[in-house]
Amino acid sequence: MAGGRGTRLAPITAAVNKHLLPVYDKPLIYYPLATLMLADIKDILVITRPEDRQSYETLLQDGSQYGIKLSYQVQERPVGIADAVLVAAEFLGESRFALILGDNVFFGHGLREILLSATEQEVGATIFAYWVHNPSEFGVVELGDDGRVLSLVEKPAAPRSNFVVPGLYFYDGQALGMVDSLAPSSRGELEITDLNSEYLRRGQLHVRRLERGFAWLDTGSPQALLDAGNYIATIEHRQGLKIACPEEIAWHSGWITEQQLKQAAARHATSEYGSYLLRILEHGL
């Protein structure tokens, strides 16, 4: 989901959609795209504003260069995260799916395994829980001693927990019908917390904790965007390996050929990114 006006990032979003802004060496949209690819999701719908659709199609094309299929749909008005499910209704049908926000960055050892386990959950919804020091700024999830969800509250003044719900959700085919019956909140939006709460009411909400060592970065403010860029730069400089490189994920997944990876490197021949793609081939990274 790459819609919204990015007002918290103004004025840098006055002419550019925030998900096209750079996080160190890649557009922000690469990071959620890579997360879905790590979950072995290959059929992806990008939801954006009408005026930004062409920019995304120019950047990401049809996805074949990554061995995936990309489609595009517009959200006419930013009326809530859960509204993305309605926008994507024809694309989704009755299938299980994942929904990720375009400004969320995930990184950590074992992330792929956690994502794959979420995709294997056939019934209900799966959310994630991440410990932060400022939970009142997010949707808060309260967990019981057995790890089950006790409550979900959107931006509470007095949080019962330091665990919050990042912008990545896995749903079964019931989600579309649930969203269709949701009432708009006081903000006039279809809230993702209300959808998750309905799954909780039905006893079908699963949660997986992202433990210490995982990084979840929300890039919605100038400081957060800068912090994310600095974090990515530090890790990549130290290791010499890139985070959220779609071509690399596709290559290791067997979705593209050696020739396609060479072609991708040639498209970025004058940049360090292109040089990195060649190193993947030369050194088997």
Task: Give the residue among 199, 241, 179 at the shortest CA–CA distance from 25.
Answer: 241
Strands 43-48 and 69-74: parallel
Which residue carries 């557009």 as its tokens? 27
Pick the CATH number of 7-131+166-243 from 3.40.50.150, 3.40.47.10, 3.90.550.10, 3.40.50.1820: 3.90.550.10
SS3 275: helix
Task: Sort strands 125-131 and 205-210 into parallel, antiparallel or unpaired.
Answer: parallel
Distance, CA of 15 to CA of 120 (rounded, Å) = 40
- 63 contact partners, CB below 8 Å, separation of at least 6: 44, 69, 70
Question: Would you kindly state where each structural domain of the chain is located, as residue ranges?
Answer: 7-131+166-243, 245-285
User: Residue 145, exposed/middle/buried by CB under 10 A (0-12, 13-18, 19+)?
Assistant: exposed
Question: Which amino acid, one-letter code, is at 6?
Answer: G
Question: What is the model's pTM?
Answer: 0.95
The pLDDT profile of the chain, 285 residues, written as one tens digit per residue, is: 998 877 888 898 888 999 999 999 999 999 999 999 999 999 999 999 999 999 999 999 999 999 999 999 999 888 889 999 999 999 999 899 999 999 999 999 999 999 999 999 999 999 999 999 999 989 999 999 888 999 999 899 999 999 999 999 999 999 999 999 999 888 888 999 999 999 999 999 999 999 988 999 989 899 999 999 999 999 999 999 999 999 999 999 999 999 999 999 999 999 999 999 999 988 766
Question: For residue 114, what pLDDT is reported?
Answer: 94
pLDDT at 285: 66
CB 124 within 8 A of CB 175: no
Eight-class DSSP state of 271: S
**Single-letter amino acid code for the residue at 14:** A
Round to whole Å and give the CA distance between 50 and 54: 8
What is the distance between the alpha carbons of residues 97 and 41, in angstroms, rounded to a whole number?
Answer: 9
**Could you report the per-residue pLDDT of 41-95, keeping only the tens digit for each?**
999 999 999 999 999 999 999 999 999 999 999 998 888 899 999 999 999 998 9
Structure tokens at 184: 């708009």
Q: Show the tokens assigned to 182.
A: 């949701």
DSSP state of 2: B
State the number of CA atoms in the 13 A half-sphere of 199 facing the CB.
25
Q: Note the pLDDT of residue 63.
A: 97
